[in-house]
A = this chain, B = another copy of it.
Amino acid sequence: MSEMISESSAETAAQRRVRTTEIGAHVGRRITLQGWLHALRRLGGVSFLILRDGWGTAQVVVEDEASLTPLTAQGAAAESVIQVEGTVVAAPQAPGGLELRQPSITLITPVTEPPPVLIGKREIKAALPTLLDHAVVANRHPARRAVFRLAAGAMAAFREVLGEAGFTEIQSPKLVASATESGANVFAVNYFGRTAYLAQSPQFYKQVMVGVFERVFEVGPVFRAEPHDTIRHINEYVSLDAEFGFIENHFTVMALLRQVIAHILERLAHGYAAELEIAGAAMPAVPARIPHIHFADAQELIWQRHGVDVRGEPDLSPQDERRLGEWAQAEHGSDFLFVTGYPMVKRPFYTHPDPARPAYSNSFDLLFRGTELVTGGQRLHRYADYLDALARAGYPLEPFESYLEAFRYGMPPHGGFAIGLERLLMQLTGAPNVRLTTLFPRDLNRLTP
C-alpha cells in the first residue's frame, strides 16, 4: 500500500546534470547541461549555442546542423528550455576557456515568440518602464541577475556578521495597530473590519526585543506610503535592522555599523566578484576608522568651503550631503562619512539627546558617496524619559502602551540602525534608479508584476 522513496528514484536528471559554472571539473567527459537557450549564432557550417542556467552560461559548438533539429522542428526560439549533452573541451577562444562539442540537444519547453526584452545580448537595451513591466522575463538577463545575487549576498553577510556578534534574528509583525512612528505615510489595512497599518519599520519591536535578547536583527519588508515619485523612492523595501543594549552612546552603534558594512563589502568582494563586475560596481574601501563630523560642524564646514550658509537649518539637504561626501573624499580619502548629532527637532521622539547639548541628539547618518545610506543612534531607555518625550511631542500615551511597558520594566541603554538594502545596492552599482535594485518594485503607480 505504501512504498519508500528510494534514494535512486529521487535522483533526477536535474541532480545528475552539471551546472554551467562547474564544467571545468569535467574536461574530456560527456556531461548534461540544462537551462535556457540564451543565444544561437549560426555562422555558415557551424553554430554557437549559449545555454544559460541558474548560475551562468556555457558555449555549445554545433558542427552538425542536424543536431539542431530538435529545436528547429518546433521553431524553438530564445528562452526555450533545453537540455544539452556534450563533451567538455578546453578551448582558449571560448568564453571561460571551455565549450561543449558533439552536442545532443533535447527541447524541454519550447518558446516560439521573441521575449519582450532580449535576454541574450550583453547589454539590456530596453527602457526602464519596459524593464519593469516585463520584470518576470527581464530579470533573467545576466546583468539583472547580478544585482539580485548581490542583494542575496548582502543579506547573508549582514546576518553572518551579526550572528557572530551574538545577535538573534527576529521576525516582527508587519500588521500593527496604530500608525505610531509618525501619523503620516502609513498604509491602512482592512483587518477584519478594523483598521490596521503596515509597519514602517520594526523600530518599536526591535527595541522591545533588546529587553529579551539584548542583541537582535531583522531582515524584512517595510512599507512607506510616501507619495514621492523620485529615482530614490520605492514604497516597499527591504530593511536590514539591528538593535542592541548596553551601549555607551551612539559611537558604540557606529563602531558596530562600521564592522557590518565592512563585512558585507568584504563578502561581496570575495564571493561575488563576477556579479560585481557584471553589475559595474565600484567597490569602496571601508576605512579602519570612518571619519565623523558633528551636524553643527558640518554646517559650518559648508559655510566655510562653499560660502553657503545652512547654519541653523534643522536638517541637511541632499546637496549638503553631496558636499560633505566630497569633503570626506578630499580630506580623508573616504567614501564614507558619519554625520552625528542631528538636531532633536528632526529626529523621532525615541531618540536620545546629547547629554552635553540637549538640542542635539545622539544619532547619526552614515553617508556613502554623499548620500544617506544608514540612519541610527542611541534611543531613550528610561520609562520617565519616554513619558516626557511623548508629552513634549503632544502624542497620546494609549497607542504606545505596549511599547512603553518594555521600558517600565527595565531597559538598558541601547541603540541601533537600519540599512536600506536597495539604497545600498543602488550606491554600490551606480544604478540610475532604485527601482532597478529590487525584483519587483512598488511605487506610486506600480503594483505589478
Contacts and interface: CB of A to CB of B under 8 A. Distances in A.
Given A81-B412, A109-B410, A139-B212, 13 more contacts: A2-B292, A2-B293, A5-B254, A5-B258, A5-B292, A7-B288, A17-B246, A79-B410, A109-B381, A136-B208, A148-B213, A172-B439, A192-B225
A5, A55, A149, A408, most chain B CB atoms within 10 A: A5
A128 interface: no
Contact of A148 (B81, B144, B212): B212
B145 A169 contact: no
Nearest to A2: B293
Interface in A235-273: 235-236, 238, 244-248, 251-252, 254-255, 258
Nearest to A119: B409
A140 interface: yes
A60 to B, nearest CB: 17
Interface in A192-247: 192, 194, 196, 198, 205, 208-209, 211-215, 220-221, 223, 225, 227, 235-236, 238, 244-247
B214 A402 contact: no
A248 B17 CA distance: 12
23 contacts: A1-B300, A1-B301, A5-B289, A5-B292, A10-B252, A10-B254, A14-B246, A14-B252, A15-B252, A36-B211, A54-B168, A55-B166, A80-B410, A81-B412, A109-B410, A134-B405, A137-B405, A145-B212, A156-B169, A177-B448, A188-B190, A189-B190, A196-B447
Interface of A: 1-7, 9-10, 12-15, 17, 19, 34-37, 53-55, 79-81, 108-109, 111, 113, 115-116, 134-137, 139-140, 144-145, 148-149, 151-152, 155-156, 159, 163, 166, 168-177, 187-192, 194, 196, 198, 205, 208-209, 211-215, 220-221, 223, 225, 227, 235-236, 238, 244-248, 251-252, 254-255, 258, 288-294, 297, 300-301, 331-332, 338, 381-382, 401-403, 405-406, 408-413, 421, 438-442, 444, 447-449
Nearest to A169: B152
Among A109, A338, A438, chain B packs the most CB atoms within 10 A around the CB of A109
Contacts of A79: 409-410
> For the complex, would chain A's binding face be called helix, strand, loop or mixed by DSSP majority?
mixed
B156 A156 contact: no
Nearest to A215: B54
A429 to B, nearest CB: 17
Given A188-B190, A213-B54, A137 B2 contact: no
B439 A209 contact: yes
A190 B187 contact: yes
A412 B174 contact: no
Contacts of A449: 208, 402-403, 405
Given A405-B134, A405-B137, A412-B109, A1 B54 contact: no
